[in-house]
Structure 1
Amino acid sequence: MLRGRSRPEPIMSIDIPLTMPFVHLLGIAEICTTAGVIHGGALMAFADSLGALCAFMNLPAGATTATIESKTNFFRPVTKGAVHGTTTPLHVGRTTIVAQTDLRDDAGKRVALVTQTQAVINRA
């Protein structure tokens, strides 16, 4: 129980594809490097959004969240197609939620693995 409310069961995973295919095909060069690949910062921002969504889905009523730590390992560049992300909560606690986001290309090859800690912020 948390302040008289029971905590919902954790959401085990979410799977949300990146809403934009490879940006050069769309003419959006602002998030590409000069080498023509999606910038690592854009991938990190995508993973951060998914991690925050995962945390939000596991918050107690009336709470909010903010990223307090994030670590990214990059494995390969993305030169075409889309990036797909799957986020899984590793820990859902009273004060923090740890989520891991697996980013993969259209071929299913791992692009990056992001582990982040989200603070559980009670508004009351």
Structure 2
Amino acid sequence: MALDTDQLTEIMGDPAFAGALGTRMGLEVLEASVERVVGRIPVEGNTQPYGLLHGGASCVLAETLGSVGSAIHAGLDRIAVGIELNATHHRAATEGFVTGTATPVHLGRSLATWEIVITDDAGRRVCTARLTCMLRDAPKRA
């Protein structure tokens, strides 16, 4: 079930779909559907002391993209919450942007699992992550 931007905003509560942390990191969601979610963050401002992209920044990008896809899959009456994230950092990124592409591994009734591949501007793989989200009924609104 594909949701439009207004419906996704209603579910996620953020028109940029990045949340407060993602927004502070400069995260942009470029494409969002149940088949694929793409987003990016700048390396600058998201580095560790050696000037390399912080591994936690890759994890924020990965979890955001997988969560957006899971929310689309869950639909209007359900929410998606991350329950497990793992990431393997393959190489350093020192400039430009890193782009994440999330694709579903499993889209079930209670769980959704995504693989997120993060690449640098040259297309080299920086990180591979896997996110599992639990899908549950949305809280009742007043």
TM-score computed with the length of structure 2 as normaliser: 0.71
1:115 CA displacement: 0.4
Query: Which structure ranks higher in relative contact order (CA pairs < 8 Å, sequence separation ≥ 6)?
Result: 1
Larger radius of gyration: 1
- Which of residues 25, 39, 43 in structure 2 aligns to 1:16? 39
Superposed displacement of residue 61, structure 1: 3.2
How many residues in Structure 1 have an aligned counterpart in Structure 2? Answer: 109
What TM-score, normalized to structure 1?
0.81
Q: 2:92 aligns with which of 77, 95, 120?
A: 77
Q: CA deviation at 1:60?
A: 3.4
Structure 2 runs not aligned, ≥5 long: 3-32
Task: Provide the C-alpha distance between the structure 2 equivalents of 1:32 and 1:69, rounded to a whole number of angstroms.
Answer: 23
Please give the secondary structure, in 1, of the residue aligned with 2:102.
Answer: strand
> Are 2:73 and 1:50 equivalent residues in the alignment?
no
Instruction: Deviation per CA, 1:63-107: give whole Å up to 9, x if none.
Output: 001100111011001111110010001111010000111100000
Which whole-Å CA distance do the structure 2 matches of 1:32 and 1:17 have between them? 15
Structure 1: gaps spanning 5 or more residues: 1-7
The structure 1 residue matched to 2:120, chosen from 101, 105, 120, is 105
Alpha-carbon separation, structure 1, partners of 2:59 and 2:38:
16
What stretches of structure 1 move > 4 A for 4+ residues in a row? none
Which residue identity lines up with residue 13 of structure 1 in the other structure?
A: R
| Separation in structure 1 between the aligned mates of residue 61 and residue 54 of structure 2, nearest angstrom | 11
